[in-house]
Amino acid sequence: MTPPPPFLSAPFLFDLDGTLADTLPDIAASVNHVRSRHSLAPLALAVVRNFVGDGARTLVARALAEVLPDGAVARERALDLAFAEYGTHHGTQCTVHAKWFPGVREHLELLRARGHGLAVVTNKPERFARAIVQHLGAADVFGALVGGDTLPQKKPDPAPVRHALALLGWRGGGATIVGDGVQDLRAGKAAGVRTIACLFGYGSPAKLKEEGADEYWSAFGVVAG
């Protein structure tokens, strides 16, 4: 990330997967690579979509639920190995199909032109998030990036939100978090920032509406009617 430029308007913090970028095909490819190593059939995109949101390790645990050992110690050991397999594969896979959702780049540039600081706050491991942002040509757009392993905590804990605001140098109020998961909304509420729920992403629109947000987008930057 580039050093945060001076800005006058309250920051916008964005989730990555399912909010800024369509990354599901690459996530599914890595999930199915790991499943193949355990002699499991590949999962459809719609199934993997339901596993996204709580970080890559939890994603792998959900994808291998039928073969992970029952005992806590054995389960964690098996999950460590599977997560390492996922990480090795995803290191090169994560940028193969990743692309902006329609309207993202234009809206980000509009926010920057209006003086807003911008940051990514994701539960995806930081190294993958940075690779995707770089691949999409946005390394100079965001003043901060907080991944799922940047801190000991991840969303829905408010710590990543507060850390991103600190990295941006913002100490005032009025910040906004934009995301497609209840984790984003809960983290934002706990941090005392405004929340926008993306109904077009990977999260369940019904669950997002049940959780409640200050605003809903039917497409990126488009307020739902």
pLDDT attached to residue 225 = 77
Q: Tell me the average pLDDT across 169-195.
A: 97
Please check whether residues 39 and 58 belong to one and the same domain: yes
- Maximum distance among all Cα pairs of the chain, rounded to whole angstroms: 54
Distance, in Å, from the CA atom of 186 to the CA atom of 171, rounded to the nearest integer, reads 20
Which tens digit of pLDDT belongs to each residue from 113-168?
A: 999 999 999 999 999 999 999 999 999 999 999 999 999 999 999 999 999 999 99
Indicate if the pLDDT at residue 78 is higher than 50.
yes
CATH code, domain carrying 177: 3.40.50.1000
The mean predicted confidence, pLDDT, of the chain is 95
pLDDT-based confidence at residue 105 (cuts at 50, 70, 90): very high
In a domain, 39, yes or no: yes
Neighbours of 194 (CB within 10 A): 17
In a domain, 1, yes or no: no
- Of 180, 183, 117, the C-alpha closest to 148 is 183
CA dihedral of residues 145, 150, 156, 157 (deg, nearest 10): -120
Return the SS3 of 225.
coil
pLDDT attached to residue 7 = 63
Please check whether residues 117 and 210 belong to one and the same domain: yes
Indicate if the pLDDT at residue 6 is higher than 80.
no
Q: Which two tokens stand for residue 48?
A: 């993997």
154 burial via Cβ count (<10 Å: 0-12, 13-18, 19+): buried
Domain boundary residue, one of 42, 67, 93: 93
In a domain, 75, yes or no: yes
pLDDT attached to residue 3 = 45
Where would I find the H helices in the chain? 24-37, 45-49, 56-63, 72-93, 104-113, 126-135, 159-168, 182-191, 205-211
Indicate if the pLDDT at residue 187 is higher than 50.
yes
Which residues form the domain of 152? 9-23+98-223
Please check whether residues 14 and 51 belong to one and the same domain: no
pLDDT attached to residue 4 = 46
pLDDT-based confidence at residue 2 (cuts at 50, 70, 90): very low
Please check whether residues 34 and 106 belong to one and the same domain: no
Residue with tokens 């993997």: 48
Please check whether residues 81 and 51 belong to one and the same domain: yes
| Residues 6 or more apart in contact with residue 195 via CB below 8 angstroms | 176, 177, 179, 184, 185, 188, 189, 213, 214, 215
Which tens digit of pLDDT belongs to each residue from 203-218?
A: 999 999 999 999 999 9
Q: Is the backbone peptide bond immediately before 11 cis, with ω within 30 degrees of 0?
A: no
Please check whether residues 88 and 116 belong to one and the same domain: no
Please check whether residues 19 and 30 belong to one and the same domain: no
Domain boundary residue, one of 93, 121, 153: 93
pLDDT attached to residue 206 = 97
Please check whether residues 216 and 139 belong to one and the same domain: yes
What percentage of the chain exceeds 90 in pLDDT? 95
Segment holding 196, helix H or strand E = strand 194-198
Please check whether residues 49 and 18 belong to one and the same domain: no
pLDDT attached to residue 172 = 87
Report field, pTM of the whole predicted structure over 0.85: yes
Residue with tokens 């355990």: 38
Please tell me the total count of domains within the chain: 2
In a domain, 2, yes or no: no
pLDDT-based confidence at residue 28 (cuts at 50, 70, 90): very high
Catalytic entry in 15, 22, 26, 180: 15
115 to 12, 30, 215: CA distances (angstroms): 11, 38, 21
pLDDT attached to residue 5 = 52
Active site residue 15: yes
